[in-house]
Chain A
């Protein structure tokens, strides 16, 4: 298996632009997570899905952030409009219910908002 695949690997954009991050979980996994990591705040959970349904989005910073999971093999995290404080590394992770909290992480998207 190729593991969790995230794209793009790097994204540089200007303030006010829309940004879309993409994630393909490992085939057969039931849950998908979006995390954000910064030096100041560490690794923060933004939202997670079970069976494509959002379960907990309490970590989503504000209405500018939205996440979707239209099917079991694809998810997006959208920021509109983007702001410089959104600059961070965004990680996607997936797991199988039967494996407890054994998450598999992607390589992340390094987002820079200028």
Chain B
């Protein structure tokens, strides 16, 4: 898996958009960008993934730069329940192992 770099922590006001960056400058052409989150004391939860195009689902949007060296996970209207550690992972998505880094701890405040 390509190395990913994320800020250790971020704050966001409730109701505002949370934009979580991830750098993956050495990502290869066949590696997807996956995002997971882990709410305190729970197992990680899949959020979204993408290869080249921007993606959106009911949880979040994923914006990948044209050169694919970085991406941003967007939670459009953050709530207190979005407080969690967010992990960005680069992986080929071919039934291989998934390795988690240290992630970004997002704190959503009133």
Contact = CB atoms under 8 A, between A and B. Distances in A.
Interface of A: 4, 30-31, 33, 35, 42-43, 45, 48, 50, 55-56, 89, 91, 93, 95, 97, 100-108
Contacts of B38: 43
B93 A100 contact: yes
Contact of B100 (A43, A95, A100): A43
B44 A103 contact: yes
A106 B98 contact: no
B44 A105 contact: yes
Interface residues of B, number: 23
B45 interface: yes
B76 interface: no
Given A45-B99, A107-B42, 5 more contacts: A48-B97, A100-B93, A101-B34, A103-B46, A105-B43
B9 to A, nearest CB: 15
B95 A104 contact: no
A35 B38 CA distance: 13
Contact of A45 (B41, B43, B95, B97): B97
Pairs of residues from A and B, 9 with the lowest C-beta to C-beta distance, nearest first: A105-B43, A100-B93, A43-B100, A97-B95, A102-B46, A91-B43, A101-B93, A101-B98, A101-B91
Contacts of A97: 95
A106 B43 contact: yes
B7 interface: no
Nearest to B94: A100
B101 A104 contact: no
B69 to A, nearest CB: 20
